[in-house]
Chains A and B, each alone.
Chain A
Amino acid sequence: MTTSSTTSSRWRALTRHHLFWPVAVLVLLLLVNVPFTPDFFSVRMADGHLYGSLVSIVLFGSPLILVAVGMTLVIATGGIDLSVGAVVAITGALACSYISDQHDQGALSGVLLAMGLGLLAAVVCGLWNGFLVARMGIQPIIATLIIMVAGRGVAQLITDGQIITINSEPYKLIGGGYWLTLPFSIFVVAAVVAVTVALTRRTALGLLVEAVGGNAEASRLVGIRSRRIKIMVYMFCALCAGIAGLMISSNTSAADGNNAGLWIELDAILAVVIGGTSLLGGRFSIGGTVVGALVIQTLTTTIYTIGVPTQTNLVFKAAVVIVVCLLQSPKFRAKVFGAKFAARFAAKGGAKPAAATADPAAATEAAPKMEVS
């Protein structure tokens, strides 16, 4: 911090920022697309709607962002929620089957009621998860596995094993409609993210969540009602998944109990990790998670645009994810870049910014972690 050169210290502060690596990876991924799709960054107007790759990435990434934002809080408490994919399916199934039973599928009141019903079911799922984890003391991964497996069955029951298709204009708006030239789902995501940030950072909820995840016993001994907080967080996570479920079923105008939100829990966990929140709990970053979810969606888009054969695209995705995770690891960076750079530049007084950044950051981040483990 006492470096003489201001550009160096500014650069250092920038690379130390918790969003630096996720954003860097996102930008890199976006740039990879340009040689394959020269007009990748262009956004054009047609029929009063904005179109373009960037818009589609956000549009298709919306459900993932929602699920990942809820997952972030659960992970911050030291837990995990595997049931979100099933909750997506249940919510969509319930909402669509209610709408399909109406005479007038386009009636706003019916649609609102359907959405309310779906979200209520989601919140009940969250309450169940929270109850098992916080009250019964069951390990989160096991507790949420129950709904992950059983939830799809429930969704099938609701839809009688069929794919329910509906034809409802108001319902279509959530996941497939446009407002002010932009896809409506972008506004939904923006609202949820804003509410989450306000809820965690404008109140003390964020601090208490981080305390519970960072040291559960210490939190109990300072009088934090950690059970209540955990239940709330699982409910919130399920609510986010529920909104994502409405969005997905609205986008296709159909409820598919089998495939809606399939494996979204894994993408969401990945997004949270890429966003810089530790799976051990404690510090979390909603902004990081949003970037993380965009990274994953961009990756999916990129796989299609650069023409990776379909049968290998999961392997390709896995490879990129490994690289991203390695880049984020301070230890890895120190090993690959740090030692070399540090040795070379330390002798010259460490004036070069790149050298000054990698090593000290890595050392201070890595060192306390060793004590913990």
Chain B
Amino acid sequence: MAEPRPVLEMAGIVKEFPGVRALSDVDFRLFPGEIHALMGENGAGKSTLIKVLTGVYSLDGGTITLDGRSVRIASPLQAQQAGISTVYQEVNLCPNLSVAENIFIGREPTRMGRIQWKRLRREAAELVDRLGLDIDVSAPLSSYPLAVQQLVAIVRSLNTGAGDGEGPGTKVLILDEPTSSLDRDEVLQLFALMRRLKEEGVAILFVSHFLDQIYEVCDRMTVLRNGTLVGEHMVSDLDQVGLVQLMLGKAMGQLDELHEHQLRSDAGDTLVQADGLGRTGGIAPFDLEIRKGEVIGLAGLLGSGRTELARLLFGADQPDTGKVTIGGRRVSMSAPNDAIGAGVAFCSENRKSEGLVPDLTVRENIILALQASRGWTRPIPVAQRDELVAKYIKALDIRPANPEARVGQLSGGNQQKVLLARWLITQPKLLILDEPTRGIDIGAKAEIQKLVVSLSEEGMSVLYIAAELEEVLRLSHTIGVLRDRRLVAQIANGPEITTSRILETIASGEHQ
């Protein structure tokens, strides 16, 4: 073989869950000193493969070879000891402890049972220095932005692999969507660290939904689809269109079609009228009119008040000022029930904490909102319930298409679809979607956006929040721009409106 020997080789990996074959016969290899992207739609098996590799799940078949030796990884701890370190999307550290403590937590250097604080800080500082980071290790972790916390998590995981000098050191570093909540500068900082580690010979497995980032930093990629291996390619050999086709298994062009459907902005009567609605500490009083069948996109930076605005319109938070009329009737908005009764639906940006009940099945999660509105004394008849659930599982292509599956086991994109199904089943007049496409793959993204367009054509109004301006621009009839917790402009969409003009408005706070 001309190639160097891979540091990690997984062959014929099989993983089954009740009713689902999550991975079937997948091969994967990783070379020292490379950044390798693991690509695929949600539910393609990326997370499962990582969890098998890190010992979270046990194998149902196949072999893992690390450094030429066959290994059995039964727990995350064993994975770490074998030199496989992982940093997940959410930072799992203690914000109230110092950076140094976080790096060494659980493995503090001790002498006679006492922690050697000086040595701990010194070693932490050396580690951070070596990786070219400018961080004061004695400051509490919470004093740093999320991006730095992410870097600290990486430093910590590298050090975990190193053990107490006995371990083999980190050979494989897994980064599972580390960039999803970082801004551009922070991403660059992360990439710099990744390149530095690559030079040191660490093999990095990188998962991200941002194709541009993959092309910027990765050397090689492995593509999965529906739990099977599609192929392994050098990044330089495969362009983005080719990659997306591999991931989806079909040709692109779906998103372009949307533009054709768009801009038929002959929206109907006023559905929602908010006058001077506001909440101290949430969002300054604003006026907003939403017409029937209209899609209103909210643009603004993270923390500009997009979510706060949406929550007021749903009664998730109670407004201090102003009033809302929906369909000509005044709605008090003292609780979500009021809004739901008036035909408003709300998919929170926090799928896990504010959306799903992970222990319940797909079916139960889907019918929850409808059942809540009927009250506990009037259960939905079984036949009707099963028919509705089957219909929406099919319509939204929820996978696995098993109403008995526990929702906690589904992938992010499918969980999002379950939430959508939950509200669509109630046939709302206004659907509020807060970051419905965050953390899900491009295929599901396109499906959800197409759905928004068709719902709007059927006469449903949609309030759409997304971090990606292109997305907002593509879907909305009207764009609401937020800045510093204030609704600063409402712009009618049209051919002359571009992302840069929206950006100007966000930056200046006024629309020319």
Q: Which residues 375-400 of B sit at the A interface, judged by CB distance below 8 A?
A: 375-380
Q: Could you say which residues of chain B place their CB within 8 Å of the CB of A225?
A: 337, 372
The count of residues in chain A whose C-beta lies closer than 8 Å to any C-beta of chain B is 36
B60:A360 contact, CB within 8 angstroms: yes
Interface string of B270-284 (1 = CB under 8 A from A): 000000000000000
Q: Which residues 322-373 of A sit at the B interface, judged by CB distance below 8 A?
A: 339, 342, 359-360, 363-364, 367-368, 370-372
**Distance in Å from the Cβ of A369 to the closest Cβ of chain B?**
9
Q: Which residues 250-309 of A sit at the B interface, judged by CB distance below 8 A?
A: 282-283
- A154 within 8 A of partner (CB): no
A223:B340 contact, CB within 8 angstroms: yes
Per the bound structure, the CA–CA distance linking A214 and B51 in Å amounts to 24
Checking B16, B360, B380 against A210 with a beta-carbon cut-off of 8 angstroms, the contacting residue is: B360
- A224 within 8 A of partner (CB): yes
**Distance in Å from the Cβ of B361 to the closest Cβ of chain A?**
10
Check A363/B57 contact, CB under 8 A, given A204-B371, A218-B355: yes
- B316 within 8 A of partner (CB): yes
Per the bound structure, the CA–CA distance linking A220 and B317 in Å amounts to 11
Q: Which residues 160-211 of A sit at the B interface, judged by CB distance below 8 A?
A: 202-205, 207-208, 210-211
Q: Could you say which residues of chain B place their CB within 8 Å of the CB of A342?
A: 58
Q: Could you say which residues of chain A place their CB within 8 Å of the CB of B58?
A: 342, 359-360, 363
Q: From DSSP, what is the main secondary structure of chain A's interface residues?
A: helix
**Distance in Å from the Cβ of B242 to the closest Cβ of chain A?**
33
Checking A205, A207, A217, A282 against B368 with a beta-carbon cut-off of 8 angstroms, the contacting residue is: A207
Stretch at the interface among B17-25, B321-329, B480-488, B504-512: B17-25
B340:A282 contact, CB within 8 angstroms: no
B56:A203 contact, CB within 8 angstroms: no
Q: Could you say which residues of chain A place their CB within 8 Å of the CB of B340?
A: 222-223
Checking A208, A282, A283 against B371 with a beta-carbon cut-off of 8 angstroms, the contacting residue is: A208
A2:B371 contact, CB within 8 angstroms: no
B356:A218 contact, CB within 8 angstroms: yes
- A219 within 8 A of partner (CB): yes
Q: Could you say which residues of chain A place their CB within 8 Å of the CB of B18?
A: 1, 16, 364
Stretch at the interface among B128-136, B346-354, B494-502: B346-354
Per the bound structure, the CA–CA distance linking A371 and B18 in Å amounts to 18
Q: Could you say which residues of chain B place their CB within 8 Å of the CB of A210?
A: 357, 359-360, 364
B364:A217 contact, CB within 8 angstroms: no
Check A204/B379 contact, CB under 8 A, given A221-B346, A370-B56: yes
A224:B372 contact, CB within 8 angstroms: yes
- B422 within 8 A of partner (CB): yes
Per the bound structure, the CA–CA distance linking A223 and B409 in Å amounts to 24
- B122 within 8 A of partner (CB): no
Q: Could you say which residues of chain B place their CB within 8 Å of the CB of A359?
A: 58
Check A204/B378 contact, CB under 8 A, given A221-B346, A367-B57: yes
- B331 within 8 A of partner (CB): no
- B336 within 8 A of partner (CB): yes
Q: Could you say which residues of chain B place their CB within 8 Å of the CB of A16?
A: 18
A208:B372 contact, CB within 8 angstroms: yes
Chain B residues in the interface with A (C-beta under 8 A): 16-19, 21, 51, 56-58, 60, 74, 314, 316, 335-337, 340-341, 346, 348, 353-360, 364, 367-369, 371-380, 406, 408-409, 422
Enumerate 25 A-B pairs (CB-CB under 8 Å) in ascending A order: A1-B18, A203-B376, A204-B379, A205-B376, A207-B368, A208-B376, A211-B357, A211-B360, A211-B364, A214-B359, A218-B357, A221-B336, A221-B354, A222-B368, A223-B336, A223-B369, A223-B372, A282-B357, A282-B360, A364-B409, A368-B358, A368-B406, A368-B409, A371-B358, A371-B408
Sample of 8 more A-B contacts, CB < 8 Å, known A207-B371, A208-B371, A218-B355: A204-B378, A210-B359, A218-B357, A221-B346, A222-B368, A364-B409, A371-B358, A372-B408
